Chains A and B, each alone.
Chain A
């Protein structure tokens, strides 16, 4: 059993086999093998407690159905089920997804990273610049007129498009 501690000091106890899905954690455990129990505590500093919960849920689901086995022998029905589950898992707001990307990046969990990146890009797909700004809470620094005047060949044409 290993313990993860989030930035807001919450503790999460996870089976080693489950946490091994994170390549970072696996390396840390390998490094500390044979040492005292206190060393089995891993600080996950850049992540608040909401995200480890999600990550661990993701781990557990995938632990029950490891991907290598999944590809080789998983029946079509089970694969569909996992796909559905993942769609539901990633169906959250963009802030959570961004945090998941950060967590997956620092913990090195490739499938989670890909899934979250894919979902964020899905959210930003087929949106006008205004909508992108609204979704990401970004303040728009450019105006249509500026675009048309200053960089005619580069981005001005974008404003003449609309998503159906």
Chain B
């Protein structure tokens, strides 16, 4: 509207510009004298009011008074409009003389700004606004710094502006406090613009990061399916089952390299192999090099994923639960094709001590050749299933052995100062290395009888560990029944 008023001067002004008209000359003169009076007299407001009242008093007819008042209001408002318009025109010409850069260079500078700073610059003047609406300025949309004020239409507009220049989008807010979940007001519908024009915009998008957005699984998947050249996807705190998202990515985003999914704030069903026919799908994505999952996931699915993803270099499962670590065995066996360099199993609630210790022994035997960095820390200690409740342990002996055998590898194994059961742990190690099959139930019961005596002192000293591992054993036994 503003632009329109600048470009199309109203008919009245055009009449003023025609030089021969007597009326316009007269108008110029009377307006000039009025304005001269206005600028000379500081108390113009009172004197003009009095003058208007005197004139009104001198008019006998009410209808004439009304039309006079109407004219006065009309005059005032059109005078103000004209003044604002002229002021803006002066400002515009002033700005274009003050700012030395031509538009293409200004756009170059603006394209290096973050999105919020860009919007502030755009709110300064017409010149900057024009430059700031150039598509190249919106190649990387990052609105994480203003997640609580930004709205869907804003994001949608930006995506449409960026068009074919769009490279990356970052939306939502990462909660400061890990346990507190802050949902931003954005919904996934702001990304619907990616699907416009047959999905041309989405087709070119390379990076998508979404933090704590309100999202429905179906709409998110339909958007992801248009992002065919996506190479980096990070979705944190979204109320979706990760299996749906994974399947969509593997199906449609063939050039995906990095995936990070965190749904740990919501209680979602565990992901099993049956739901996701990984073997077929994951072959579509040969570039997949890093995978971070923070959700409830079964061993069979994990082992299928890691077996099929030949180029996987980094696997981060920190904070995930519901898997025991059996998948590590399968991998060690078929290890040669494995390219894994980083493996992070930090704070995996149901990770079993036995699996970890056999994994560490495998490293010592020379498996996992490409592995450079491992994290098996756990703030509660490793789980001993079917043992007396509250028993958590750590594999101190295997850890020190690995540190000795593989000095090139970075191994992080921080555990809480629980009274350790190193001797028992070595028992696990010896039993598991001798027994590679899955007949683990006998094995576990026999070995867990050993630490039982130590446990009584430990469990009473640490209530928190007690309750949490209770929970862990329960859901794990659920898992075992449903998987078998």
Contact = CB atoms under 8 A, between A and B. Distances in A.
Interface of A: 95, 98-99, 101-102, 105, 117-118, 120-121, 124-129, 132-133, 136-142, 146-147, 150, 153-155, 157-161
Given A132-B121, A161-B146, A125 B101 contact: no
Interface in B110-154: 110, 112-114, 116-117, 119-128, 146, 149-151, 153-154
Given A102-B100, A121-B112, A139-B91, 5 more contacts: A117-B112, A120-B109, A121-B110, A159-B123, A161-B149
Given A121-B110, A141-B91, A153-B153, A99 B120 contact: no
B27 interface: no
B180 to A, nearest CB: 20
Contacts of B92: 141
Q: Which secondary structure dominates chain B's binding surface? A: helix
B114 A139 contact: no
A161 B123 CA distance: 12
A157 B145 CA distance: 13
B274 interface: no
14 contacts: A98-B100, A98-B101, A101-B105, A102-B101, A126-B116, A127-B117, A129-B121, A138-B127, A141-B125, A150-B2, A155-B119, A155-B123, A157-B150, A158-B120
A118 B94 contact: no
B198 to A, nearest CB: 24
B109 A117 contact: yes
Contacts of B157: 153-154
B33 interface: no
A86 B195 CA distance: 43
B88 interface: yes
Contact of A124 (B94, B121, B149, B150): B121
Contact of A138 (B109, B116, B125): B125
Nearest to A126: B117
Nearest to B145: A161
B153 A139 contact: no
B120 A138 contact: no
B95 interface: yes
Contacts of A129: 120-121, 123-124
B108 interface: yes
Contacts of B91: 139-141
Nearest to B1: A150
Contacts of B122: 155, 158
A102 B105 contact: yes
Given A138-B125, A141-B125, A160-B149, A153 B154 contact: yes
| For the complex of A and B, 4 pairs with smallest distance between CB atoms | A121-B112, A153-B153, A139-B91, A129-B123
Q: Which of B110, B125, B126 has the most CB of A within 10 A?
A: B125
B124 A133 contact: yes
A139 B88 CA distance: 9
A126 B99 CA distance: 20
A138 B95 contact: yes
Q: Which of B109, B112, B127 has the most CB of A within 10 A?
A: B109
A147 B117 contact: no
Nearest to A120: B109
Contact of B125 (A120, A140, A154, A155): A140
A105 B106 CA distance: 12
